Chain A
């Protein structure tokens, strides 16, 4: 009996010695979470692979692949077939069927590669490859063999069962979500912060988001936009916790008490403090921001320095060295771009000065802030009234 299966390849985590079991378990969990609602699926562990099987009937690749490919830690997936009958005759026929389905009468060069994990198998790898290749070639005149530089490679894997596949659909790679501890990400609703959040999630960091809401200066729609972005990220992470911190009063206090051109620096320092408090409660170990060096006034080296001075936790800035276009490309790939560019103002831009300070001195900022005696109270109040949204 033939069964369509999805062969899931994971790269980096296969190498991680003792933690491998843990990582693979995480990966299986994540895949299951994404496809369980789609039908009766099994995820079978093979050596170095996961095999997704549809026990409810014939697998619909177009529907299932997108659900699996977005799981972090996966190198890529291969739509293929599983054979219980491992006779040479059967393998040849099924391999031909697979090729006819994918390549029809399109002129293509190919080769066959066999992996023989089942060392009991009567033929050697090369013998299997030659046999299968010969059979396909005989039956499909549009194909030619090219051992060195083939357009398509057909893989035959002989394990407990035999697997045949040729297409490889690339995933995001990285580590299984949640395998690297927790972080708290500052989400503004712009293009950068969702990308930064995704990049750390890709490295296995379990992320929560913090959004600073300043009604009436920022609208309900601006908040909804951040919730929508968090929802998109949650497709990769299988859930997302979003903290919404009311920041109006603190912001207005700053507006009345600090020099206009330095307002953003003070605002961002307060945001970092609030995020750090939330991170401590979450038992997180790092903050995450979407800063890209030199992109805006507060993201100069001096600006980052003055802002960073208030936190003890490490602040991860995965976009620090990236250009805007590179960030946009990722935002498009992960599907946050179109939501990010909706024109609702976020709390950082509403009172921004025409010519903000680009080279703030930390000592000067500290000195001014020392006089803002009510700032800690405003911060505490904001944190008390924080809303938590589970997505």
Chain B
């Protein structure tokens, strides 16, 4: 089996699964209870938060909040900021290539009377920093930027963007959606002036249902759920010690191998991408060039083909990839990210995303390439324009 759909989700690491089970079975008391057993769980959570804080260079472990995943982190960041800062203004800015977990909260706020601006991107998927700077006003309370795009892998220059935002309005809150980046890309929240940062466990070999939100000290972000006051009331609900431990361990493992992973995965991506470009006619890459985009994501157009058909044929050979983004394969809507970078409608239909982890191999890339060489010409023979 060749699994090239790691931007959708990854397999949990065996040692992470083991850690998760171990904590479930031993430190099962409520972390908020005063007992010794509860303290044990609390300590696990604290240690996990310390690890995560260190990995993104946060000031303190108290800036780490555990959530149910990327979607919740993003929602908390957007709605929480809107609720906490609406007196300072109702202008919020994001881009046209965000994940729906950002786009839809922004649209919901628009309905509530917020002024929402979706900044366009160029054909490679980059936001123009000068445009962003000019868009920021005295009443702009939030800018949300996706660090690595989930569909095309474009990496935004979050450091320059952070500087630009704070130059234009030091009070504007800066949120970075790092769901595809955390664990695969070095992030320094203080250097980049980041106020809020979302991450999701299952994108870097932790279990699903685990996420984190970095929230800089002394922000007035309001909670979006209310309950027993856990996590300083910002994200109530009994804390998940096993989840926190699993998240921290998976993150630590990812960053331990970051340099070699990046190099290895880039080789795989390069081999596959160049192989496709050189041996299959009418193919091209969506977005940024191979080595300037994230090594973990490759989005390619196979002209005169429909991606579901190619995906089914690949699946038959035990090769798993996805069309654009896995989150919208069940709907008939086409990728808005590819639309935003100016990919033609006919080409969006033929777009495939291959996404990798450090556990993928060159042999797998080779199997995938050979399968594509065989399938694409065969399937194109029967392609009929609709």
Inter-chain contact A215/B384, CB cutoff 8 Å = no
Question: Secondary structure of the B side of the interface?
Answer: helix
**What CA separation (Å) do A354 and B316 show in the bound complex?**
29
**What CA separation (Å) do A219 and B379 show in the bound complex?**
14
- Indicate if A260 sits at the interface (CB-CB under 8 A): yes
- Chain B residue numbers with a CB within 8 Å of A260 are 384
Decide yes or no: A216 and B316 within 8 Å by CB, A343-B331, A343-B332 being known contacts: yes
**What CA separation (Å) do A155 and B199 show in the bound complex?**
65
Q: Kindly provide the distance from the CB of A385 to the nearest chain B CB, expressed in whole angstroms.
A: 15
Inter-chain contact B308/A219, CB cutoff 8 Å = yes
Task: List the B residue with the shortest CB-CB distance to A256.
Answer: B382
Task: List the B residue with the shortest CB-CB distance to A217.
Answer: B309
Inter-chain contact A255/B379, CB cutoff 8 Å = no
Q: Kindly provide the distance from the CB of B52 to the nearest chain A CB, expressed in whole angstroms.
A: 37
Q: Chain B: interface residue count, which band?
A: 10 to 19
- Chain B residue numbers with a CB within 8 Å of A216 are 309-313, 315-316, 379
Q: Kindly provide the distance from the CB of B384 to the nearest chain A CB, expressed in whole angstroms.
A: 5
Q: Kindly provide the distance from the CB of B237 to the nearest chain A CB, expressed in whole angstroms.
A: 32
Question: Secondary structure of the A side of the interface?
Answer: loop
Q: Which one of B310, B313, B315, B382 has the greatest number of beta carbons of chain A within 10 Å?
A: B382
- Chain A residue numbers with a CB within 8 Å of B309 are 216-217
- Chain B residue numbers with a CB within 8 Å of A215 are 312-313, 316
- Indicate if A252 sits at the interface (CB-CB under 8 A): yes
**What CA separation (Å) do A211 and B382 show in the bound complex?**
22
Question: Residue-by-residue, is A202-231 near B (CB-CB < 8 Å gives 1, otherwise 0)?
Answer: 000000000000011111100000000000
- Indicate if A121 sits at the interface (CB-CB under 8 A): no
Inter-chain contact A354/B312, CB cutoff 8 Å = no
- Chain A residue numbers with a CB within 8 Å of B330 are 342-343
Interface residues in B369-386 (C-beta closer than 8 Å to A): 379, 382, 384, 386
Give the A-B pair count, Cβ closer than 8 A.
Answer: 35
Please give the number of chain A residues whose Cβ is less than 8 angstroms from any Cβ of chain B in the complex.
17
Q: Kindly provide the distance from the CB of B28 to the nearest chain A CB, expressed in whole angstroms.
A: 35
Inter-chain contact A217/B312, CB cutoff 8 Å = yes
**What CA separation (Å) do A343 and B330 show in the bound complex?**
7
Interface residues in A100-158 (C-beta closer than 8 Å to B): none
- Chain A residue numbers with a CB within 8 Å of B382 are 217, 252, 255-256, 351
Q: Which one of A217, A252, A343, A351 has the greatest number of beta carbons of chain B within 10 Å?
A: A217
**What CA separation (Å) do A255 and B386 show in the bound complex?**
14
Decide yes or no: A354 and B332 within 8 Å by CB, A216-B310, A216-B312 being known contacts: no
Decide yes or no: A354 and B386 within 8 Å by CB, A216-B316, A343-B331 being known contacts: yes
Task: List the A residue with the shortest CB-CB distance to B310.
Answer: A216
**What CA separation (Å) do A260 and B383 show in the bound complex?**
12
Q: Kindly provide the distance from the CB of A260 to the nearest chain B CB, expressed in whole angstroms.
A: 7
- Chain A residue numbers with a CB within 8 Å of B316 are 215-216
**What CA separation (Å) do A193 and B99 show in the bound complex?**
37
Task: List the B residue with the shortest CB-CB distance to A251.
Answer: B382
Q: Which one of B311, B316, B379, B386 has the greatest number of beta carbons of chain A within 10 Å?
A: B386
Inter-chain contact A220/B312, CB cutoff 8 Å = yes
- Chain A residue numbers with a CB within 8 Å of B384 are 255, 260, 351, 353
**What CA separation (Å) do A342 and B332 show in the bound complex?**
10
Interface residues in B345-363 (C-beta closer than 8 Å to A): none
Q: Kindly provide the distance from the CB of B129 to the nearest chain A CB, expressed in whole angstroms.
A: 39
Q: Kindly provide the distance from the CB of A30 to the nearest chain B CB, expressed in whole angstroms.
A: 35
Inter-chain contact B315/A220, CB cutoff 8 Å = yes
Q: Kindly provide the distance from the CB of B24 to the nearest chain A CB, expressed in whole angstroms.
A: 32
Inter-chain contact A219/B312, CB cutoff 8 Å = yes
Contacts A216-B312, A216-B316, A252-B382 supplied; 11 other A-B pairs, CB < 8 Å: A215-B313, A216-B309, A216-B310, A217-B312, A217-B382, A219-B308, A219-B311, A220-B315, A255-B384, A343-B332, A354-B386
